[in-house]
Amino acid sequence: MRFDIPLALYVHLPWCVRKCPYCDFNSHTAPGALPEDAYVDALLRDLDHDLPLARGRELTSIFFGGGTPSLFEPGSIRRILEGVRERLPLTADCEITMEANPGTVEAARFAGFREAGINRLSLGVQSLDDAMLRRLGRIHDAGQARAAVATARAAGFDNINLDLMYALPDQDPAGAARDLDALIALAPEHISHYQLTLEPGTPFHHRPPPVPNHDTAWTMHADAERRLTAAGYRRYEVSAWARPDRTCRHNRNYWTYGDYLGIGAGAHGKLTDTAGNVLRRAKRHLPNRYMAAAGGPDAIAEERRPDATDRRFEFLMNALRLDAGFAVADYAARTGLPAAELDDLARRHPDLLRLTDGHMACTERGRLYLDTLLADLLPEAA
């Protein structure tokens, strides 16, 4: 079987200087000196263990997430990428992204990361209002964020994403607009613009800050759409905006049910075998336990094979987030399910879905009610 499903690699580096009160990712406060050499060794052992699932396939993208991956030295990132290249071929235009914190100490490393092979940088700015940054528990200020972008440009990065949140504690629409205008002025190629949510298990969930109500948040969202469009950005996913040809290939692969290896503490992977069966695998969350087990089956915390209902829900939940939707042929190829069932979905929900020329997408109304749509389409999986 020839694989037409793209393959990506996710590398999780789990440490932060300080965990933010809204964060529910698998991240841990750095224990002083990081065990970089031991962790890199563990990552490569982990990749070796997963390699039979993907041998012979090319990587179209690599993403270093966290945590704060930029806490690692450029030499460690180089060693990871060299190890990956020894094991798997990369496409000539492979997108290699690193998440980074705008703190000035890490910004000084940007030239080293570029030399190591990183060609796309994603900076967690979150706000350019110092008061808001303090309330969010961020360790940088607005000046450091601006300096980080300038340093990244000087280091040769011509593909930068900036994260910005809205509906922050006590934020009003005027404040959200000022924040966004300040971010647009930095001229990134990509902007991730998303609403602050109070995730279960986080300090913000246990002690909720005074965030704007739904109507106010919606006003911020609608105003942001106008400002981003006027600035030349195109929305291609619910929270993702990009300049032409600067969409995030790695995230698009997630949203279109592509395959990806996941290495590192708490990393998730999804692979399709030659018979069309899907395997999902997650690694141990705690860094020390992960490092001790990496390279063997004990590093796997969870493994499952999604059934037809799961595959249907997983595909539609992600692909319908894309403004352009998806090709019906991809649905059939990547889920193993009959494309004809999409005809039935479109007939049942003509005001929410459109199906034309072998392509399905949400209508404008469908995008507004995507959660309701999915629950209605797939009641057995909701």
Question: Could you tell me if residue 178 is inside a domain?
Answer: yes
Instruction: Retrieve residue 83's tokens.
Output: 């190890």
Report the Cα 45 to chain-centroid distance in Å.
Answer: 24
* 198 in the same domain as 59: yes
Same domain, 38 and 159: yes
Who contacts 377 (Cβ-Cβ below 8 Å, separation ≥6)? 316, 345, 348, 349
Q: In this structure, are 201 and 82 located in the same domain?
A: yes
Inside any domain, residue 382? no
249 and 359 inside one domain: no
Range of the structural domain that residue 177 is part of: 7-253
Whether 34 is covered by a domain: the verdict is yes
For the chain, the 3-state helix, strand and coil shares in percent, each to the nearest 5, are 40, 25, 35
| Residue 28 sits in the same domain as residue 173 | yes
- pLDDT for 56 equals 81
Structure tokens at 377: 């389409």
CATH code for the domain of 126: 3.20.20.70
Asked if 237 and 320 sit in the same domain, the reply is no
Q: By C-alpha distance, which of 129, 243, 249 is closest to 188? A: 243
Task: Give the strands of the sheet with 278-283, arranged side by side.
Answer: 234-237, 240-242, 190-195, 160-166, 120-126, 90-100, 59-66, 7-13, 259-264, 268-272, 278-283, 300-304
**Quick one: 120 and 248 in the same domain?**
yes
Q: Give dist(CA 67, CA 132) in Å, integer.
A: 21
Mark whether 122 and 228 lie in a shared domain.
yes
Does residue 141 share a domain with residue 13?
A: yes
CATH code, 345: 1.10.10
- Number of structural domains (the chain) is 2
Q: pTM, whole model, 2 decimals?
A: 0.94
End position of a domain, from candidates 216, 237, 253:
253
In terms of domains, do 182 and 326 share one? no
Give the integer Cα–Cα distance in Å for 38 and 40. Answer: 6
Tokens 């809205």, located at residue: 166
Point out the domain boundary residue: 234, 253, 272: 253
* Domain assignment of residue 150, yes or no: yes
**Averaged pLDDT in 10-residue chunks for the chain of 382 residues:** 80 92 87 92 98 92 95 96 97 97 78 96 97 94 95 96 98 98 98 95 91 96 98 96 97 96 98 89 97 97 94 94 94 92 91 94 91 71 40
Q: What is the pLDDT of residue 381?
A: 41
In a domain, 274, yes or no: no
User: What is the per-residue pLDDT for 373?
Assistant: 84
- Rounded to 10 degrees, the C-alpha dihedral 205/208/209/211 comes to 80
> Residue 55: what pLDDT?
79
Residue 279 lies in a domain: no
